[in-house]
Amino acid sequence: MSIPGMKPQALGGMSVDVFLAEYWQKKPLLIRDALKNVQAPLDADSLAGLACEEDIESRLIIQRGEQWQLQHGPFEEAAFSGLPASHWTLLVQAVDHWVPEAAAFLEQFNFIPRWRIDDLMMSYASDGGGVGPHYDNYDVFLAQVSGQRKWEIGGKHNDSSKLVEGLPLKILASFEAEQSWVLNPGDILYLPPGVSHNGVAQGGDCISCSVGFRAPSHAEMLREFSEYLAQRLSESDRYSDTDLVLQDNAGEITPIALAKIQQIFSHYLTDEQAIADWFGRYVTESKYEHAGASGDEISIAALGEHLAAGGRLARNEGSRFAYIGEGSGAAMFVDGERIDISMANQQLVELVCR
């Protein structure tokens, strides 16, 4: 059965337990030679080919002094032949959704819950190429897989930090490097959310892999959960006040009325089953609708027979899988859809989602 999922016990020379306890979401970490005998999931030509595809998100960033130019794909092949000799970067998003080798590359980071992983972005940069000093709202592993890139990191920033005006990119107006390193193939730089950083290619053939993690805002989650609830509630579920009494001023919203509203909200916000069902669907929604699997449906029983007969099983690269264990089995979520699984098939589900 060809489903990867063995959890790595070490990240370079550091145990995963130490990394999670001391660095994850806490402070940056440079890990030298973390990826042994690393090979880029794609070479520069193949990456450029992806950037020409209609369904794939890509960007081309060109720096000319203090000026920055941003172009969005898909690109024509001729766009690459007319590029300057230096100071440009090609970024291709969600390469793991389309390329099996890129999806396999992500398996090296599955010590973080799979539902937290967003995607694998790959970049190819000419000498001096970069995207300017910036920060991300999520954790990121910056892995060097070909050539060299100099990384500088500074202090923490947030959405109140001033950006350079008049640019198509979110470049920090004030960036002061506190540490810097040149990364070689196999090196990884981990950055928690908010840490400012600036990467510049040193020489040609610079290919980096950026493993980004999902960190939905509270506003987004509340909005999405509210929409989930609204779709499932009946119009007959309404505010009521059968205990209404005469009040001194008809214009007052009384504490009793506010308490009723709070009680309504609390009823739904403490519904563990609804929260679990929504969250499983929410975090497994495919990032790109067209990246989901297609083909004939198969029952769990038929799948078990297929595997028992020596058949192979592989996850669709563009799909997201997760499960929630329940007393009588499990709820499996795939691309935003829920499948209830019996206890007899739970082990299979755990293996598929691993």
pLDDT of 162-194, one tens digit each?
999 999 999 999 999 999 999 999 999 999 999
Q: Which of 116, 106, 111, 120 is nearest to 8 (CA)?
A: 111
205: left (phi over 0), alpha (psi -120 to 50) or beta: left
Supply 280's token pair. 């499983």
CB 91 within 8 A of CB 27: no
Of the pLDDT bands very low, low, confident and very high (cuts 50, 70, 90), residue 3 is very low
The predicted structure's pLDDT at residue 292: 53
The predicted structure's pLDDT at residue 64: 93
The answer on pLDDT for 290 being more than 80 is no
In order of their start, the domains of the chain are: 10-213 (2.60.120.650), 219-353 (3.40.366.30)
Q: Position 76: which residue type?
A: E
Residue found by looking up tokens 């020409």 in the block: 52
The mean per-residue pLDDT over the stretch 81-110 comes to 95
The answer on pLDDT for 121 being more than 60 is yes
Supply 218's token pair. 């509270």
